[in-house]
Amino acid sequence: MSGEGTQPLLACRNVSKYFGALAAVSDFDLDVHSGDVVGIGGPNGAGKTTFLDVVSGINPATSGDIRLDGENIAHTAPDIICHRGIARTYQLNAGFDSMSIRENILVGAAFGQGDKGIPRLRYSRSMHQRVGRALELCGLQDKAHLIVRSLPVLDRKLVMLAGAVATEPKLLLIDEPVGGLNPHEVDDVMEIVSGLVDAGMTIILIEHVMRFLLQISKRVVIMHHGEKIYEGDPQGLLSDQRVVEVYLGKGTAKRLQHMLAERGGND
């Protein structure tokens, strides 16, 4: 459960990432406790993906402190960060095209766990069990034999997600899980990510599709020019003047307020 007063699973302090003179992420603070589901939104170029890049070690922070379970990982290599318990998906689909769905996810299951001295030639029973669980959680159990190259965009996104889930991460980072999908597919992914939340996963997700972001996240952060301009509950963001000004616009804020009110009435 998320808990004030306990040590955060992830603690980011004054994290900055510069590309030349551009501060893509600027003095950014974030605490994530076990069981949290934090949604990050904000305009294009706000620094959302760059933040996930520095947390996952893909692109190290220029300055600042990033702690996982109290240990500084700000300058740790991405493979080691994965072994320590942070897995992620990417904004653009990535996968092993010539391999099946099951084989793709097996790579995650084998990579994320245990000691890493020697590359594995054999997959253990527990790895296959993790694959089975990830396939089920991501709704891919009936398609496991299909070759990834031939899959539609939705399934490719789910394969990437399942590969990350199969590492059994302490913290799962998801970058735009529904970008480019139609409304029906958005609903499908929403159900799957809700299932991950129900299974107790701790998640940071980035999304532009606001109905997804607002309904899945327990807490929302809005970034603008690398800085945090809002952190709080999903409802509060819709009446935050700065967020409405720089990101949502009045019309969208109103529409989303209606959506949340209706959903609250139905629950």
Ligand X SMILES: Nc1ncnc2c1ncn2[C@@H]1O[C@H](COP(=O)(O)OP(=O)(O)OP(=O)(O)O)[C@@H](O)[C@H]1O
| Interacting residues toward ligand X by CB under 6 A | 19, 22, 24, 42, 44-50, 91
Segment lying near Mg ion (by CB under 5 A), choices 89-97, 142-150, 164-172, 227-235: 89-97
CB of 24 to ligand X, least distance (A): 3
CA dist 89 and 173 (Å) reads: 6
Residue among 77 and 92 whose Cβ is closer to Mg ion? 92
Residue among 25 and 107 whose Cβ is closer to ligand X? 25
Residue among 93 and 100 whose Cβ is closer to ligand X? 93
CA dist 114 and 16 (Å) reads: 32
Which of Mg ion, ligand X, none lies near 45, with the C-beta cut-off 5 to 8 A by kind?
Answer: ligand X
Which of ligand X, Mg ion, none lies near 243, with the C-beta cut-off 5 to 8 A by kind?
Answer: none
- Classified as helix, coil or strand, 52 is helix
- Count helices and strands (H / E) in the chain: 10, 10
CB of 139 to ligand X, least distance (A): 25
CA dist 73 and 84 (Å) reads: 9
CA-closest candidate to residue 103, choices 149, 151, 147, 141? 147
Residue among 10 and 52 whose Cβ is closer to Mg ion? 52
Rg of the chain on CA atoms, in Å: 18
Residue among 82 and 223 whose Cβ is closer to Mg ion? 223
CA dist 61 and 169 (Å) reads: 21
CB of 52 to Mg ion, least distance (A): 8
Segment lying near Mg ion (by CB under 5 A), choices 5-13, 91-99, 100-108, 129-137: 91-99
Residue among 48 and 133 whose Cβ is closer to Mg ion? 48
Residue among 81 and 223 whose Cβ is closer to ligand X? 223
**Element containing residue 222 per DSSP (H, E):** strand 219-224
Can you state the angle between helices 101-111 and 125-137, rounded to 10 degrees? 120
CB of 225 to ligand X, least distance (A): 9
| Helical residues (DSSP H) of the chain, grouped into ranges | 48-55, 78-84, 101-111, 125-137, 153-165, 183-198, 210-216, 234-237, 241-243, 250-266
Q: Is 49 in the site for Mg ion (CB under 5 A)?
A: yes
CB of 7 to ligand X, least distance (A): 28
CB of 47 to Mg ion, least distance (A): 8
- Cβ proximity of 185 and 156 under 8 Å: no
Which of ligand X, Mg ion, none lies near 80, with the C-beta cut-off 5 to 8 A by kind?
Answer: none
Tell me how far the alpha carbon of residue 85 is from its chain's centroid. Answer: 13
CA distances from residue 60 to 19, 97, 198, 221 in whole angstroms, order as listed = 11, 28, 32, 21
Which of ligand X, Mg ion, none lies near 46, with the C-beta cut-off 5 to 8 A by kind?
Answer: ligand X
Which of Mg ion, ligand X, none lies near 144, with the C-beta cut-off 5 to 8 A by kind?
Answer: none
List interacting residues with Mg ion (CB under 5 A): 48-49, 91
